Structure 1
Amino acid sequence: MHDDRTRVEARLRRFTRERLEPAVFTAYQPLTVEHWQVPDEPVPFAEAVGQEYVPTEAGWTWGRAWSSTWFRLSGTLPDGWDAESTEIVCDLGFTSELPGFQAEGLAYRPDGAVIKAVSPRSHHLPCTPDVSGAVVVYVEAAANPDVSDHFRFAPTPLGDKATAGAAPLYALGTIALARRDATVWELLQDVRVLDGLARELPSDSPRRSRVLHGLGRMLDVIDPDDIPGTAAAARAVLAPLLAAPAHASSHRIVAVGHAHIDSAWLWPVRETVRKVARTFANVLDLMDRHPEFVFAASSAQQYAWLKEHHPALFARVRERVREGRFVPVGGMWVESDTNMPGGESMIRQFSHGKRFFRDELGVETEEVWLPDSFGYSAALPQIVAGTGNRWFLTQKMSWNQVNRLPHHTFWWEGIDGTRLFTHLPPADTYSSQLTPDELLHTERNFQDAAAATMSLVPFGWGDGGGGPTREMLAAAQRSRDLEGLPRVEVGSPRRFFAEAEAEYPNAPAWSGEMYLELHRGTYTSQARTKRGNRRSEQLLHEAELWATTASVRAGTPYPEGELRRAWEKVLLLQFHDILPGSSIAWVHREAERDHAALAGELTAIIDRSLAALVGDGETELLANAAPVPANGAVAFGAAPPRAEGAAVSWEAGATGGVTLDNGRVRAVIDERGRIVSLTDAASGRDAAAPGGAANRLVLHRDTPTEWDAWDIDDHYRRLATPLDADAPEALEVAASADGTVVVTVARAFARSRLTQRISLAPGADAVDLAFDIDWHESQKLLKLFVDLDVHADEVLAETQFGYVRRATHENTSWDAARFEFCAHRWTFVGEPGYGVAVANDSTYGHDASRIARAGGGRATTLGLSLLRAPRYPDPEADRGAHTMRVSVRPGAGIREAVAEGYRLNVPPRAVRGARPVDPLFDLDGDGILAETVKLADDGSGDVVLRLYESTGGRGRITVTPRFDVGEWVRTDLLERPDGDASRSGTVPLTLRPFEIATLRFRRAGGAGGNGPEVSPGR
């Protein structure tokens, strides 16, 4: 019997491959093909249609990397053929099995109306001849190179148009009219589902025996010499097998049509604009033919691109959205990284995204959709809930290298205690094809089957692969209620989440971040992109603050349009393959250019706002946009600088080192340029670990097992070269004009050079380290280690609106797997009564561990990953010049760590004017900080103040506005009232640990308005 089954399976697969699949199309009529090659960047249809097209022979090779070629296909419907059963087959020369990572095309009618896309798994087009039977179609073909070799990771020049070369990449395949036999196609779908089911069932399963027996009978019934004539009879044999219902206890799957489209990755942003149009066109075509089809797409940015470049397609999307079949999800501007963006950026991802969906599509999204981001910050639940969302979905956690999250459906608890109903699809993919093996994996893998019965499966080719296909919908229809498979029903994410939460309200909880045990290198790769992000975030914070202050104090028009456009550019650049540094060279070159342009635009807003506030004059002022006083400036205001502290003294050591002392901090730097002692006067305690240094530089070999730009693997720690083992090339001491003493240490190593400036300013509580690095390494990792004489089981690392605790030990596999982690502006290492704060201006990758302490015991070392040098997908990633800053503050607590982070990232601006500027608010309390001051998004002129509790304890604060207020109200994070309005002159608040509070102040007498630039909508 076993041999009989094996023979049936082998016979079936050969028959399917050699007879059944070729029989779907019964006849072909070649089309006339002409082409026009676009000289440079893509052009719209209106420009392309009027060009001179050249006759094109079959098999013509076309397409240098990143170029576009327009093809005109023409012909006449043959006599006896009907349009309904005729399709255009358009094979652009597809080269691999992976759709979305090669050539793609978008087809147009002669009047410019979009038809659908052509891609490797969906290269058919409907045949719509005119009254004379003539067929004319234009296809915009993109010669996107295949740089998706995720198994060799070979450096490639194809990631940049400037280095990609001019050789053609593709050879045209079949381009013809083809008669399609619908019955044969349906039989093929029957066979694929039943064959796939038989492969997955146990060998002794009665159901498997019956399925194979039925397939064998089908092979006897169908005539290989007349497949179209016998296909109906063959289907009749299989019909009872397909009618057998699923077991009552079968798992339930809500299948959601989807096409995950990275907003940039192995292609530039401009190509994503076209990928979106192609995919959405395919989806709309499927919806016209399959009324049961439901498709979900995230990222307001992608809809905005469609509206701008293809308004007719966008209008069709809008109509399907009204029907509930085309479903916007996620509520974010893009599917961003969630580890590195600042807190306000994460809020704006939702405020800008949800505003677009609400204003343009009439939809209030409630489900957050982040299947592919590289781990999820513990601050997210509060941000997600505060922006009006109820549910969260990701799939990426199935990629963990070591530990498996214990649930697929659970309540996710953030750092402030907010909980969010969360689902991880047990299919372990966000691009399912709904094959029996995937469906059964979903059922078998589901970890909550004891109490829950359902999961969600996103299906469809992503990244330009075309989205769902008619074959996938056929598989879903056959799997709706089929013995041996879970029950499958195409539906919306909202339907799944509502039913799942109702069924499983007491789901277990997961507390804290969802740390991805993979892709740890994304905290460091492409340092210039990351530095640009940090700088843009800071400038947006300043621009909003000073523009708001100028609007209230001086009546200056608020630059809403400029700020909105700047925010949306920054939000796009936080996409989860841009900010993490895992895209091709083209993407990061553009990101660096865009951040530089944003710096100029935002600095101009800041300068003109401050000019309006301080007036014309020569008084020296410090404008401080940080929520804590710094350098003598008041918080959120401009005031004359106060006198600095005592002068910094320095003396040379006997062996060539130097000692710096400003009466508050004393630093001893040895002859090798290492800070071997760091003492604060208040405690008298030396923070530097005996035998270590507070600025130890180490070069590591960095050769990840797989994902080059993505990963740092733990074996890097075994391959380390200290850079301070010998004396530096130069060690010099000098004083700057403001009295700061700077020790400059210059080193050369391997193929790179590094200059470190160790500085101590009068009155400063911290030593600053500045690094200028000319970096030309390959597959190396440069780390800065701060060795501290502190015994700590954990360090604190800033995240959005708070911090998380990171173990310094490896007691469990979960602790060991977090050997590299993300931190924002500061980290803190402490023991009872004493601590040290380490701040940075652009670094995200960190590690913390215990080291041997000279004299006994263990000390703590904090590592900052300064630079990497991956080769794939950008073979020149990070090479070149870099500047970054770090500060080390001994004798600090958590509040000092927070203040140090602001000092290094939002320094006061020196301005000249006629008058100081009072802050808009007085804040009387401790530990609660004002992160954002802005005017309301709705154009009302209301002033919005966002605060958060920063220390991890319960905090009280009184907020007193220093402008005329009619009333104030607490709101959600989208500035919608979340309580009753009050006319009290002060606002008393008590916040739980890490709680975010947003206050909205209406100016007295309806004062304000945003000026002529503002409109309430988009």
Structure 2
Amino acid sequence: MHDDRRLTEARLKRVLDERIRPAIHPESVPLEAGIWTAPGEPVPVAEGLAAPRTPIAAGDAWGAPWGTSWLTVSGRVPRAWAGRTVEALIDLGFDANMPGFQCEGLVYRPDGSPVKGLHPRNQWVRIASPAAGGEEVLLHVEAASNPVILDYHPFLPTELGDRETAGDAPQYRLARLDLAVFDETVWQLVMDLEVLGELMAELPAEGARRWEILRAVDRALDALDLQDVGGTAAAARERLAGVLSSPAEPSAHRISAVGHAHIDSAWLWPLRETVRKVARTTANMTALLEDEPDFVYAMSQAQQYAWIKEHRPEVYARVKKAVAEGRFVPAGGMWVESDTNMPGSEAMARQFVHGKRFFLEEFGVENEEAWLPDTFGFAGGLPQIIRAAGAKWLLTQKISWSQVNSFPHHTFWWEGIDGTRIFTHFPPIDTYNCSMQGKEIAHAVRNFKDKGRARHSLAPTGWGDGGGGTTREMVAKAARLRDLEGSARVRWERPAEFFARAEAEYPDAPVWVGELYLELHRATLTSQARTKQGNRAAENLLREAELWAATAAVRAGFPYPYEELDRIWKTVLLHQFHDILPGSSIAWVHREAERTYAAVAGELTGIVERAQRALAG
């Protein structure tokens, strides 16, 4: 037989792109839509729902930079669709290659309760499963027209980084507003073929397993009638069952997948937009947890939970329920994922004090891990602070970005300047936005530097920064990779479960002493001087205010301003986030930070003066 491998691989790609994926939604009807654009900053939900609409349709432009538009989409499920699964497909003008760095939306029911977020890789809203036929459909979308700043040519000068200079030209065009049938059998076939095709591409061409998969794919495509994909998808899946059920080798690498969405608390967007990014993503993740019993999701940064609690209490109620069930995991135990080079030691300690206190009071959760995947290097004193806060593990990723020296371990003991050791893991998958692609899983296996001594690694899985988190496709792929020949074994786990297993497996891991230096982002130590000056002044004033207030409370009965100082500390800790204090955010963020630091200085000076007057009196 001649070598037809490349022909079959090309056939798979073409048939997936041109015939099978389009057949996931084989029938559709257009939805009607109206739009209202808020005149300034985002408005409360009730105001957005009640505002008058003007007609808009697919193809129309919308969305000035940093604007908010409220869309209402309506329609009726055709009676002929009775008994079938129906979804609304809403494409705001997404670029699928940039999840997290463009427009986003949060879908609401007519009563104002949130449903889920809309993102480039997550454009569907389930309407009925099964449909009765004839149902009325009415949804509202709070759409944010955040401009694309990190484009295909990244880090170019732009006026879009501040609302004062961004202009008002529409940024997007509505691409799709449809009601559609969802064919789950076809969708499952797509997941089968994607997993096998991606695995096949990573296996050696001379190995038998690659050819077994190739022949099974060939038989499946032969069984598929391209004029009736839905009617023959089940038969095609039968041809793949054998290669999908072949178990992994006993020595296969183990990957603990953790549902995740790394959301920078400010970066290419202002703080107020992060509040909405977090709400959209957590709405998605709590919905996915309800649909997928094996899925586990972890979210760090107590500040982000506090934002949901304040601004989207309905979403927060779903989060609390999922946390109580042990499937939505508060991770990290810090107020934000802060920089660790520039904050003072007291501030680093307060990151854990405020973060762990929030998780304990709100959820009864005591964290044992620090979770800092994106922080720009780590000071040598951090292990002592982590251990003193009651934690014993650290996860990070960013050191893999170093420009010259590749870090020699993925699992190791990190020893601080006082001798304290923290069990530390760098995921060899080299991303905190894993999407369960075969090339990512294969890279983790090849890249893992501790082979022969350990066999477990972690994969934070999901689109971050407003990309919507983990998708149903990622969960489906992970299910197929749980025990599949040629692949690492993948299963959903909580971070603590991974760390406990990894430490037990590799207790004599090598030791790294002192600073974890990142050979990248060096200019962040000197950029945005006013932000750094504001932080240091705030830290010094906080110390002074607490000393004067405590002294006055003890000696003169001065009412200690606990709530005021607590609020100010949280403001300062927020601004130590690893894209604010280091200076890597857009102009809007730093302009706002400068005003915030000035206000903080005024408040703290006022506390000092009140305490001094009390002592003088």
TM score, norm. by length of structure 2: 0.98
- One-letter amino acid matched to 2:51: Q
Specify the alignment match of 2:19 in structure 1. 19
What displacement does 1:47 show?
1.0
C-alpha distance 150-15 of structure 1, shift in aligned 2 (>3 A): closer
For residues 510-589 of structure 1, the aligned pairs below 5 Å read 510-589=512-591
Q: Secondary structure at the match of 2:600?
A: helix
What displacement does 1:58 show?
2.6
Equivalents in 2 of 1:406, 1:530: separation in Å?
Answer: 32
Deviations 1:458-485 (A, max 9, x none): 0100000000000000110000000000
Equivalents in 2 of 1:80, 1:466: separation in Å?
Answer: 32
What displacement does 1:130 show?
9.9
What displacement does 1:610 show?
1.4
Equivalents in 2 of 1:41, 1:273: separation in Å?
Answer: 13
Equivalents in 2 of 1:175, 1:271: separation in Å?
Answer: 25
Contact 1:433/1:460 (8 A) holds in 2: yes
Q: Secondary structure at the match of 2:160?
A: helix
What displacement does 1:149 show?
2.7
- One-letter amino acid matched to 1:233: A
What displacement does 1:320 show?
0.5
| Counterpart pick for 1:604 among 603, 606, 614 | 606
Contact 2:78/2:134 (8 A) holds in 1: no
Q: Secondary structure at the match of 1:604?
A: helix
- One-letter amino acid matched to 1:490: W
Specify the alignment match of 2:156 in structure 1. 154
What displacement does 1:213 show?
0.9
Equivalents in 2 of 1:75, 1:8: separation in Å?
Answer: 42
| Counterpart pick for 1:452 among 450, 454, 464 | 454
Equivalents in 1 of 2:84, 2:611: separation in Å?
Answer: 64
For residues 78-93 of structure 1, the aligned pairs below 5 Å read 78-82=78-82, 85-93=85-93
Which segment drifts farther, 215-224 or 606-615? 606-615
Contact 2:149/2:158 (8 A) holds in 1: yes
More strand by share: 1
Equivalents in 1 of 2:2, 2:9: separation in Å?
Answer: 11
Specify the alignment match of 1:318 in structure 2. 320
Equivalents in 2 of 1:359, 1:385: separation in Å?
Answer: 21
Specify the alignment match of 2:367 in structure 1. 365
C-alpha distance 84-600 of structure 1, shift in aligned 2 (>3 A): farther
Specify the alignment match of 2:179 in structure 1. 177
Equivalents in 1 of 2:354, 2:52: separation in Å?
Answer: 43
Specify the alignment match of 1:38 in structure 2. 38
Contact 1:268/1:586 (8 A) holds in 2: yes
Specify the alignment match of 1:198 in structure 2. 200
Deviations 1:402-427 (A, max 9, x none): 11221111111001110011101010
Equivalents in 2 of 1:190, 1:591: separation in Å?
Answer: 48
Equivalents in 2 of 1:86, 1:461: separation in Å?
Answer: 25
Equivalents in 1 of 2:155, 2:393: separation in Å?
Answer: 36
- One-letter amino acid matched to 1:9: E
Contact 1:375/1:514 (8 A) holds in 2: yes
Contact 1:95/1:170 (8 A) holds in 2: no
Deviations 1:935-981 (A, max 9, x none): xxxxxxxxxxxxxxxxxxxxxxxxxxxxxxxxxxxxxxxxxxxxxxx
What displacement does 1:60 show?
1.1
Equivalents in 1 of 2:13, 2:156: separation in Å?
Answer: 35
| Counterpart pick for 2:493 among 488, 491, 494 | 491
- One-letter amino acid matched to 1:98: M
- One-letter amino acid matched to 1:27: E
- One-letter amino acid matched to 2:311: H
Specify the alignment match of 1:296 in structure 2. 298
- One-letter amino acid matched to 1:19: R
More helix by share: 2
- One-letter amino acid matched to 1:363: V
What displacement does 1:150 show?
6.5
Specify the alignment match of 1:66 in structure 2. 66
What displacement does 1:108 show?
0.3
Q: Secondary structure at the match of 1:49?
A: helix
Deviations 1:593-634 (A, max 9, x none): 00000000000001111122234xxxxxxxxxxxxxxxxxxx
Q: Secondary structure at the match of 2:352?
A: helix
- Residues 1:125 and 2:125 aligned together: yes
Equivalents in 2 of 1:287, 1:84: separation in Å?
Answer: 23
Q: Secondary structure at the match of 2:27?
A: strand
For residues 345-384 of structure 1, the aligned pairs below 5 Å read 345-384=347-386
Equivalents in 1 of 2:36, 2:154: separation in Å?
Answer: 35
Deviations 1:820-855 (A, max 9, x none): xxxxxxxxxxxxxxxxxxxxxxxxxxxxxxxxxxxx
What displacement does 1:174 show?
1.0
Contact 1:77/1:83 (8 A) holds in 2: no
C-alpha distance 95-451 of structure 1, shift in aligned 2 (>3 A): closer
- Residues 1:101 and 2:101 aligned together: yes
What displacement does 1:131 show?
9.6
TM score, norm. by length of structure 1: 0.60
Q: Secondary structure at the match of 2:242?
A: helix
Contact 1:84/1:127 (8 A) holds in 2: no
Q: Secondary structure at the match of 1:196?
A: helix
- Residues 1:286 and 2:288 aligned together: yes
What displacement does 1:152 show?
4.4
| Counterpart pick for 1:339 among 332, 338, 341 | 341
Specify the alignment match of 1:717 in structure 2. none
What displacement does 1:132 show?
6.1
What displacement does 1:80 show?
2.1
Equivalents in 2 of 1:83, 1:278: separation in Å?
Answer: 30
Counting aligned pairs with the same residue, the percent is 59
What displacement does 1:505 show?
1.1
Equivalents in 2 of 1:386, 1:153: separation in Å?
Answer: 39
Contact 2:380/2:514 (8 A) holds in 1: yes
Q: Secondary structure at the match of 2:4?
A: helix
Deviations 1:305-358 (A, max 9, x none): 000011111011001001110000010000000110000000000000111111
Equivalents in 2 of 1:408, 1:49: separation in Å?
Answer: 49
For residues 196-235 of structure 1, the aligned pairs below 5 Å read 196-235=198-237
Contact 2:256/2:491 (8 A) holds in 1: yes
Equivalents in 1 of 2:133, 2:548: separation in Å?
Answer: 65
Contact 2:41/2:67 (8 A) holds in 1: yes
C-alpha distance 152-299 of structure 1, shift in aligned 2 (>3 A): closer
- Residues 1:386 and 2:354 aligned together: no
For residues 928-943 of structure 1, the aligned pairs below 5 Å read none
What displacement does 1:82 show?
3.7
Q: Secondary structure at the match of 1:158?
A: coil
Contact 2:531/2:581 (8 A) holds in 1: yes
Equivalents in 1 of 2:311, 2:133: separation in Å?
Answer: 31
For residues 417-436 of structure 1, the aligned pairs below 5 Å read 417-436=419-438
C-alpha distance 191-404 of structure 1, shift in aligned 2 (>3 A): same
| Counterpart pick for 2:279 among 277, 281, 294 | 277
For residues 346-745 of structure 1, the aligned pairs below 5 Å read 346-615=348-617
What displacement does 1:151 show?
3.5
What displacement does 1:114 show?
0.6
- One-letter amino acid matched to 1:610: Q
Contact 1:409/1:448 (8 A) holds in 2: yes
What displacement does 1:90 show?
0.3
Contact 1:83/1:127 (8 A) holds in 2: no
Equivalents in 1 of 2:333, 2:398: separation in Å?
Answer: 19
Equivalents in 1 of 2:474, 2:346: separation in Å?
Answer: 40
C-alpha distance 132-242 of structure 1, shift in aligned 2 (>3 A): closer
Deviations 1:82-129 (A, max 9, x none): 476100000001135111100100000001111101110001001158
- One-letter amino acid matched to 1:454: H
C-alpha distance 267-130 of structure 1, shift in aligned 2 (>3 A): farther
C-alpha distance 470-530 of structure 1, shift in aligned 2 (>3 A): same
Equivalents in 2 of 1:594, 1:536: separation in Å?
Answer: 10
